[in-house]
Amino acid sequence: MPIYEYECSNCDNSFELVRSINDDDKDLKCPKCDSSEVKKLLSVFSSSCSSCASPGQGFT
Ligand SMILES: [Zn+2]
């Protein structure tokens, strides 16, 4: 499940949400000020997945 990071244009609050593809950006509001003026920053799947590209790890 992808984790999306958002930033509120209203109060500059940044927050992360786990959303499915089907959810898209509908009904997206800032949890802090309840503004819908939020923008998507980037999507990160897992910080631990940086090791996924390391040779010799996994699949052994
Ligand atoms: Zn906000």
Q: What is the per-residue pLDDT across 31-60, written as a single tens digit (0 to 9) for each?
A: 999 999 999 886 655 555 555 555 665 555
pLDDT of residue 20: 79
Q: Is 3 helix (H, G, I), strand (E, B) or coil?
A: strand
Distance (angstroms) between ligand 1 centre and the Cα of 16 equals 13
In a domain, 37, yes or no: yes
pLDDT of residue 22: 73
In a domain, 34, yes or no: yes
In a domain, 13, yes or no: yes
Distance (angstroms) between ligand 1 centre and the Cα of 49 equals 29
Q: What is the pTM of this model?
A: 0.60
Distance, CA of 60 to CA of 56 (rounded, Å): 8
**What is the pLDDT averaged over residues 8-21?**
90
Domain membership of residue 34 as a residue range: 3-45
Total tally of structural domains belonging to the chain: 1
**Residue predicted with more confidence, 2 or 39:** 39
Is the predicted pLDDT of residue 25 greater than 90, yes or no?
Answer: no
Distance (angstroms) between ligand 1 centre and the Cα of 24 equals 19
